[in-house]
Amino acid sequence: MLFDAKDLDSCIAELSFNMTMQPPPTHTHTHIAKCTKEWLDCYRPQQPKSPRTALSSCSTVDDVLRLYLAETYPSSLNAGCVMRDGVMVGSPFPHIFSPNINHKGFISDTQRSANSGVYSVPAMTSLQSSSNIHSYVASLQQCVAQFKISRHNHFLEAGMEEDDYQEMVENLFTLAECYKTEGG
């Protein structure tokens, strides 16, 4: 409700008049309280009332990431972790980045000097599985099973034994079976 100057003057006049009376009549006191409340409500800065969202309940970056993963991949079991520091960039890689990437790995308006490198970069990764994982692992197992390690001396010279290799092939088969669905 908006007040015009006449309504405001009326409330102030009534308030002034009733301050001299002891005790104020109930109906006048109620009217003054109503006028004052309506006037304050009208001129008080109003905060926009926004509906409460799931995002507004997040208090940390980790909570936001968990919410994002749950909303984006609702049928998957999700886990997320936010690292506060970037991934360290070792030699010779600090100098492969564009000059507009600063030493912490963020895009910058100013260019980094030619002899200054990038020493850490922000990173995000995801590990997910799908209904096709069985066929991927089974295909890998079939390819690896065809590989004859005895024909490649450099594997044997590096310490790989044929029995260890065969065990890894069997482990791939077992892993593929773990992802096999009833229809596949």
Distinct helix (H) and strand (E) counts, the chain: 6, 2
User: Does residue 72 have a pLDDT over 80?
Assistant: yes
Angle between helices 26-43 and 5-20 (to 10 degrees): 140
pLDDT at 139: 92
pLDDT at 26: 46
User: Does residue 44 have a pLDDT over 60?
Assistant: no
**How much is the mean pLDDT over the chain?**
75
- pTM score, two decimals? 0.37
Helix (H, G, I), strand (E, B) or coil at 33: helix
47 — pLDDT class (breaks 50, 70, 90): low
pLDDT at 169: 93
Query: What is the rounded distance in angstroms from the CA atom of residue 136 to the CA atom of residue 126?
Result: 18
CB 82 within 8 A of CB 61: yes
17 — pLDDT class (breaks 50, 70, 90): very low
pLDDT at 51: 63
Average pLDDT over residues 132-156: 88
CA separation, residue 91 to residues 65, 87, 146 (Å):
31, 13, 38
